[in-house]
Amino acid sequence: MLDIRHIRENTDQVEAALQRRNAGFSVKELIVVDEQYRTVNSQWESLNRRRNEISEMFKTGKVAAEQKAELQAETKKIKESYETLGKEKDELEKKVSEMLLAIPNVPESSVPDGVDENDNAEQHRWGEIPKIADPKPHYELGVELNVFDFERGVKISESRFTVLMANGARLERAIMNYMLDSHAKRGYLEVFPPVMVNRDCMIGTGQLPKFEGDFYKCADDELYLIPTAEVPVTNLYREEVLDEEQLPIMHCAYTPNFRREAGSAGKDTRGYIRQHQFNKVELVKFCTPENSAQEHEKLTRDAELILEGLNLPYRRVLLCAGDLGFCARKCYDLEVWFPSQNKYREISSCSNFGDFQARRANIKYKGKDGGKSRFIHTINGSGLAIGRTLAAILENFQQPDGSVKIPQVLVPYLGGQEVLEPKHTLGKLDARVFAE
């Protein structure tokens, strides 16, 4: 949420910045409604003032008997217009806040112009693209290697739900633990939040009210399945005033994530790239405005270190204004190499939200040297999407014989197993690996 006062005082500037998103957002109507609201509100307040004056007279007992009836009549009269005005005021106030909640964040000045992902600016590449003759897609490899069972996923749920079998279940868990442990070493405090949250949380981090149909909602309870751990973790501190000494607060969290993927029909229908339920390790930071740019860079770097640890080739892109998410004012995407697609695919999105989420969720901090509390800045990023990491490992480390070499950092998490081989049955493997 943007600051209404800032919009009022810098209307043209905000308007121009929003135009860069190419999504038809405007604050012009908001300015008009806000003006109306303030007019009605001040009228309503002066009626209130008169009413308070009258009851003050009663309080001090300085009211003559005949004046009493007169004053009571006056408040009765005030009451009528008071109620009409009050209603009008409430409606306008509601309208202003609804409009405010529907306006996206303003792109930061370093964000390049552009319409869509084609205009994103590549920042750098890392790693060597493996030379694989006729690379197989992860979903073929994975079925051979007893990693995925797509049919049974659909049977027990519906499309875009996948069962991780044997090797897949263990590899997914190994990746998750590797990520969490790595982040913990860099100072992120692990949390494991609820995956069902109330509506206030969804508004707080900006999913609602704008994107109502994108999320799973429980019919009989006002609860939503989280689309990302960003929601519960950021809302951990909703309606709180933190001390500057505590900052930056850094959390990492594993959660499953649930997305309806409405509107993405036909995209990535095969494989493990786009699921209704997927696992992710998320990084979330809370910091002062002064440090937010720097903390954003550091967080993005922390996500990159996971890819480097796994030896997966990737690139970093800076999203253009048109491709920026609703809440973000600046965002880097990390894209990992997928040999079968011969291109980089998003595996992490690291965003700086400025005070946009903090205003919605009312998260503030008190400065060291006192003074008024200020809105905090929030930053988060995937560190990383686990399923896509697993898919990328299968594809990048596939061997000519159909086996997959496990990245060294994961081997300890797999009880010493170094290769996924099609011929193994898992029962035997487990017995071998864990027999001690």
Partner RNA sequence: GGAGAGGUGGCUGAGUGGUCGAAAGCGGCUUCCUGCUAAGAAGUUGAACCUGCUUUAAACGGGUUCCGAGGGUUCGAAUCCCUCCCUCUCCGCCA
Residues interacting with RNA, by CB under 7 A? Answer: 4-5, 38, 41-42, 45-46, 48-49, 51-52, 54-55, 58-59, 71-72, 75-76, 79, 241, 370-373
Query: Using CA atoms, how far apart are residues 113 and 134, in angstroms rounded to an integer?
Result: 37
Residue from 165, 134, 139 nearest 273 by CA = 139
In the complex, least distance from residue 154 CB atom to RNA, rounded to whole angstroms: 28
Of the pair 54, 163, the CB lying nearest RNA is at 54
Query: Tokens representing 260?
Result: 């309806």
Determine how many CB atoms are found less than 10 A away from the CB of residue 181: 13
Three-state secondary-structure class, residue 13: helix
Q: Are 147 and 420 in contact (CB under 8 A)?
A: yes
* Residue among 53 and 116 whose Cβ is closer to RNA: 53
Q: Least CB distance from residue 376 to RNA, whole Å? A: 13
Answer for the pair 334, 303: CB distance below 8 angstroms, yes or no: yes
* CB closer to RNA out of 48 and 288: 48
Tell me the closest approach of the beta carbon of residue 180 to RNA, in angstroms: 21
> Closest separation between CB of residue 101 and RNA, Å?
15
Alpha-helix residue ranges (DSSP H) falling in 61-113: 65-101
**Shortest distance, position 207 Cβ to RNA, whole Å:** 20
3-state helix, strand, coil in the chain (%, to 5): 45, 20, 35
Work out the end-to-end distance of the chain between its first and last CA atoms, rounded to an integer number of angstroms. Answer: 57
Q: What is the smallest separation between the CB atom of 225 and RNA, expressed in angstroms?
A: 17
CB of 177 to RNA, least distance (A): 22
Closest CB to RNA among residues 79, 155 = 79
Length of the chain: 436
The token duo for 236 is 């951990």
Minimum Å gap between C-beta 47 and RNA is 9
209/416 with CB nearer RNA: 209
19, β-bridge pairs:
none
Q: Please name the amino acid found at residue 178.
A: Y
Nearer to RNA, 97 or 399 (CB): 97
Comparing CB distances to RNA, the nearer of 300 and 357 is 357
State which amino acid sits at residue 18: L
Q: How far is residue 255 from each of residues 36, 212, 273, 364, 421, measured CA to CA in Å?
A: 44, 21, 17, 26, 29
Which of residues 52 and 425 has its CB atom nearest to RNA in the complex? 52
